[in-house]
Amino acid sequence: MNHICHIEIPADNVGQLQGFYSSLFGWNFEKMPGDFEYYNVKHGEEAPMAGMMARQHPEQTPIFYVCVESIDAALERAHEQHATVCVPKTAVKGYGWFAVISDPQKNPVGLWESNESAI
C-alpha cells in the first residue's frame, strides 16, 4: 500500500492522444462501462496502469493516484497535514473509492482504495 498505482491523463482529443500513446508505447485502450467516457490503459496482460478521459477544464493536468488501505484514514491524515480535499470520497461502483486532495503546495494527489463492494 501507499504506492502509486494509477495515473489519469486528460485529453483535448481522446482518439488522437490514444493513437499517440498506442504508437509510442504499444498501449491498448479499453472503454469502461457507464455513462462517463473513460478508458483504461493496458499494456499486454497487466492490470490497467492508467486512465484517459476528455479534459474536464483547461487547467486539468495528469494526476497520479496512491493506493491506500483506507481512504477515510488517508483523508483524515491529509486533513491533519493541511491538505485540501478537492474531490471527496467517491464510489466507482464495483471497483472502489477515490478522492483527490491538494497538497500544501497545490499539487493534486489522487487516493484510491480498492473495494468491490463500493456503490
Average pLDDT over residues 9-38: 94
Question: What digits encode the pLDDT tens for the residues 29-79?
Answer: 999 988 889 999 987 777 778 999 999 999 999 999 999 999 999 999 999
What does the CA dihedral 111, 112, 118, 119 come to, rounded to 10 degrees? 50
In three state form, how does the secondary structure of the chain look? CCEEEEEEEEECCHHHHHHHHHHHHCCEEEECCCCCCEEEEECCCCCCCEEEEECCCCCCCCEEEEECCCHHHHHHHHHHCCCEEEEEEEEECCCEEEEEEECCCCCEEEEEEECCCCC
CATH numbers and ranges of domains, the chain: 1-55 (3.10.180.10), 68-119 (3.10.180.10)
Name the amino acid, one letter, at 60: Q
What is the rounded CA–CA span in Å between residue 31 and residue 14?
Answer: 11
Q: Give pLDDT, residue 15.
A: 96
pLDDT of residue 11: 98
pLDDT digits (tens, 9 = 90+) for 96-117: 999 999 999 999 999 999 999 9
Q: How far is C-alpha 87 from the geometric centre of its chain's CA atoms?
A: 12
Distance CA 44, CA 66 (A): 22
Predicted confidence (pLDDT) at residue 20 exceeds the cutoff of 90: yes
pLDDT, average across residues 71-93: 97
What is residue 82's predicted lDDT score, i.e. its pLDDT?
95
